[in-house]
Amino acid sequence: MSNLLPTIGLEVHAQVKSRSKIFCRCAVEFSNKPNINVCPVCMGFPGAMPSLNSEVVKQAVRAGLALNCEINIVSGFARKNYYYPDLPKGYQITQFKKPIAERGYIILSNKKRIRIRRLHIEEDTGKMIHDQDEDTLIDFNRAGVPLIEIVTEPDFESAEEAVDYMTRIREILRYTGVSDANMERGELRGEPNISVRKTSDSPLGTKTEIKNLNSLKAIEKGINFEIDRQSKLVAEGFEVASETMLYNDKKQEVYPMRKKESASEYRYFIEPDLPDLVLKEDFVSSMKGTLGELPEVRRERLIKQYSVSRDESWILTSEKTLADFFERSVANTGAGKRIVNFFIREIPALLNEKNVDAEKLLFTPEDLNSLLREIEREAVNLNSAQTILKRMAQTGESSEKIIRDLNLRQTNDEEKVKQLISETLAENQKEVERYRKGEEKLFGVLVGFCMKKAKGSVSPASINKHLKEMLK
């Protein structure tokens, strides 16, 4: 069976980086102790009054600007009413009619433009924990944690595009510092809505929504499962029901959770305890100056400035911390091909192997910088540099100390090189004779012998140069 054409939209929730919650002064922290960051406001006690955290407004405006949105000078808050145990107030404070930002876009890595319909501020709910001793427990530390919700138009045509979008959003939120956007911690969650139809001319099919996917893999698997399921239904002549679905990570399958609510079922009304949010024009324009260099722009600059390839610039900018580490490591060197290539070959692999962020390495970019300078002026060869780097990552020792301890500095001192070569030739007279009788391919073998004896202390170039002369 071949699948029908999918149409996909995405709602993304991102946790705004902030020390306190959105409407009270409770701390926001990733902690194992449940229910310690709570107060009458975020617990919804009668008479408790919310007061808006200005940091959240600032970050929402910055996110809106980074996502090419128009910022609404006047926006407002509303109550979204529904009952659920993780929602102590019985409603969520969110923005409904007028969000803080709308009509933006993001460019995917395949250059496709995805339209962003709106970006609004809201509070998070508590967290239900189902899998402990068969009881359901609730942790309210997360209730009232600030979120931005970013809603796209239904512009995706595949799970891959949706995954790419999530990756781009995560990148932009991290580059701008709006959110740490750590999906494992639930700081970035995606909710795709999916429908299928026979051809691009047919009207859109009935859509379903998959709740709270918090990994890229879940987004990919969940969407693909749902496209298959809907295609099968339609092929067999059934109708797709308008439902909210749950994704099961172990089975990688999607199940119906409940009939989908329409907006009217939430009985939205204006939040009476909060005034309209009114921004000053110059506040908005001052926020533009705080965005820093966005990933797309940085990729283009790295290509120009360091003559790296497009693929390499994607690798380097995959995390802001890596791109920063790179630029600090090659600073004040000529950033020549040798060292740039060395960095690109070694560092991402090292981070992968240790499963850490560049900031968490045992050595600093300045430490690496001194090693790169040695490579650049051919004082250590690339093999030795690899050894040195490995040791730096293991012990945190300076490259200088390691070079000294392991005696890895190359010499181009003519006397020493010649000395080494003549010793090697004396030890390998058979090969020397054969070479002199015309077996020219033995030259490489002799270079190898010299290199082995030199143990990295002499550059191959200078061995090559002197060996030729000495064999005459």
* 3-state SS, residue 95: coil
By CB under 5 A, name the one of 8, 16, 22, 24 that touches Zn ion. Answer: 24
Strand-pair partners of 458: 411
Contacts for 212 with CB less than 8 Å, ≥ 6 apart: 189, 191
Tell me which of Mn ion, Zn ion, none is bound by residue 42, counting a contact when its beta carbon lies within the kind-specific cut-off of 5 to 8 angstroms: Zn ion
**Taking a C-beta distance cutoff of 8 angstroms, is the pair 378, 413 a contact?**
no
Residue 277: CB minimum distance to Zn ion, A: 20
We find the least distance from the C-beta atom of residue 124 to Zn ion, in angstroms, to be 12
Quick one: which segment of 32-40, 128-136, 149-157, 312-320 binds Zn ion (CB under 5 A)? 32-40
Q: Which stretch binds Mn ion (CB under 5 A): 55-63, 141-149, 314-322, 429-437?
A: 141-149
Judged by beta carbon, residue 26 or residue 371, the one nearer Zn ion is: 26
Give the nearer residue to Mn ion in terms of CB position, either 191 or 374: 191
CA dihedral 311, 312, 316, 317 (to 10 degrees): -30
Q: Give yes or no for a contact between 23 and 42, defined as CB atoms under 8 angstroms apart.
A: yes
Is residue 145 involved in binding Zn ion (CB under 5 A)? no
Least CB distance to Zn ion at residue 41 (A):
5
Q: Which of 227, 225, 109, 124 is nearest to 169 (CA)?
A: 109
CA distance 366 to 360: 14
Q: Which is nearer to Zn ion, 24 or 323 (CB)?
A: 24
- Residue 186, judged by CB atoms within 10 A of its CB (0-12, 13-18, 19+), counts as middle
Which residue, 9 or 146, is less far from Zn ion as judged by CB? 146
Backbone angles phi, psi at 48, to 5 degrees: -75, 135
The single-letter code of the amino acid at 163 is V
Tokens in use for 454? 């030199």
In angstroms, what is the minimal distance from the CB of 116 to Zn ion? 30
| Residue 48 binds Zn ion (CB under 5 A) | no
In whole angstroms, the minimum distance from the beta carbon of 13 to Mn ion comes to 6
Q: How far apart are CA 138 and CA 128, in angstroms?
A: 5
| Stretch of 16-24, 149-157, 248-256, 399-407 lying at the interface with Mn ion (CB under 5 A) | 149-157
Q: Are strands 78-81 and 113-123 parallel, antiparallel or unpaired?
A: unpaired
- What does each C-alpha distance from 403 to 280, 365, 390 come to in angstroms? 58, 17, 12
Residue 61 Cβ, how far from Zn ion at the closest point, in Å?
A: 24
The CB-of-345 to Zn ion minimum distance in angstroms stands at 49
Q: How far is the CB of 93 from Zn ion (least distance, A)?
A: 13
26 binds, among Mn ion, Zn ion, none (CB under 5 to 8 A by kind): Zn ion
Binding at 39: pick from Zn ion, Mn ion, none (beta carbon under 5-8 Å per type) = Zn ion
Q: Which is nearer to Mn ion, 13 or 391 (CB)?
A: 13
Contact 284, 73 (CB under 8 A): yes
Q: Which is nearer to Mn ion, 181 or 389 (CB)?
A: 181
Read out DSSP for 46-72?
TT------HHHHHHHHHHHHHTTPEEP
CB of 222 to Mn ion, least distance (A): 18
Strand partners of residue 151: 11, 118
Of the ranges 107-115, 147-155, 230-238, 435-443, which one interacts with Mn ion (CB under 5 A)?
147-155
Token pair listed for 236: 């067999």
Out of 149, 161, 171, 271, point to the residue binding Mn ion (CB under 5 A): 149
Q: Of the candidates 90, 73, 74, which has an alpha carbon nearest to the alpha carbon of residue 82?
A: 90
Q: Determine if 471 is a binding residue for Zn ion (CB under 5 A).
A: no
Task: Name the minimum Å distance from CB 89 to Zn ion.
Answer: 11
Binding segment toward Zn ion, per CB under 5 A, in 39-47, 332-340, 397-405, 423-431: 39-47
Question: Which CB atom, from 146 or from 222, has the smaller least distance to Zn ion?
Answer: 146
Q: What angle do CA 122, 125, 129 make, to 5 degrees?
A: 155
| Closer to Mn ion by Cβ: residue 149 or 374 | 149
Q: State how far Cα 319 lies from the chain centre.
A: 5
The count of other CB atoms within 10 Å of the CB of residue 359 is: 12
> In whole angstroms, how close is the CB of 120 to Mn ion at the nearest point?
8
- Locus of tokens 């040791």: 391
Among 314, 363, 373, 315, which residue's Cα sits nearest to residue 339? 373
24, interface contact from Zn ion, Mn ion, none, CB < 5-8 Å by kind? Zn ion
Q: For residue 315, what are its two tokens? A: 């690798």
Interface with Mn ion by CB under 5 A: which range of 143-151, 232-240, 285-293, 309-317?
A: 143-151
| Site stretch for Zn ion (CB under 5 A), options 22-30, 63-71, 339-347, 423-431 | 22-30
Q: Answer yes or no: are the C-beta atoms of 155 and 24 closer than 8 Å.
A: no
If one asks whether residue 42 binds Zn ion (CB under 5 A), the answer comes out as yes
Of the two residues 4 and 121, which places its CB atom closer to Mn ion in the complex? 121
Which listed option, Mn ion, Zn ion, none, makes contact with residue 149 (CB within 5 to 8 Å by class)? Mn ion
| Residues of this chain that bind Zn ion (CB under 5 A) | 24, 26, 39, 41-42
| Residues of this chain that bind Mn ion (CB under 5 A) | 149
